[in-house]
Homo-oligomer: A and B are copies of this chain.
Amino acid sequence: MPFILHPRLAAGGFDFGVHRGCRVLLKNNAIFPWFILVPEVGEEIEDLHQLDAATYQNVTRAIRDVSCFVSAHFRPGKLNVAAIGNQVRQLHIHIVGRSPGDPAWPGVVWAFEGKQPYDSASVEEVRAAFEEWIRSGHP
């Protein structure tokens, strides 16, 4: 069965393509540098530990790569990395750059209502930086 991105994830972010078998999304909330990875696996998989060992390793490497990009590009004070999925059950992993003084600090972004959509120039800037990061072999 072909992989279908959950409509709520698709609607909430910008698709940056596939890295190590994971769809990479930039969440459309410019308040935080916030990426979401969606492993392109069957919908019966809702939790990371349900992945077979090889896919699990691949997904955790993708998490590391995108974490390194967020850290290097946005220089946040801290990363928050989480697989939650209580509402959208399709397996997805949040990678969020956090900084003391951001509007949700020190709370978690998943309990924070604030939103600020990106303008398209900013999205393209982040996309170009991400693509260059991948292309240059940083991961």
The listed residue with most B CB atoms (<10 A of its CB), out of A57, A63, A68, A82, is A82
Interface-forming stretch among A14-22, A102-110, A120-128?
A102-110
Whether A67 contacts B80 by the Cβ 8 Å rule is: no
Secondary structure at the A interface, as helix, strand, loop or mixed, is mixed
Q: Residue A41 at the B interface, CB < 8 A?
A: no
| A contact residues, range | 20 to 34
Interface-forming stretch among A4-12, A30-38, A84-92?
A84-92
Which residues of A from 69 to 88 have beta carbons under 8 Å from B?
A: 71, 78-87
Q: Can you name 11 A-B pairs with beta carbons within 8 Å?
A: A47-B78, A48-B67, A49-B64, A49-B79, A56-B60, A80-B86, A81-B82, A82-B82, A82-B84, A86-B105, A108-B111
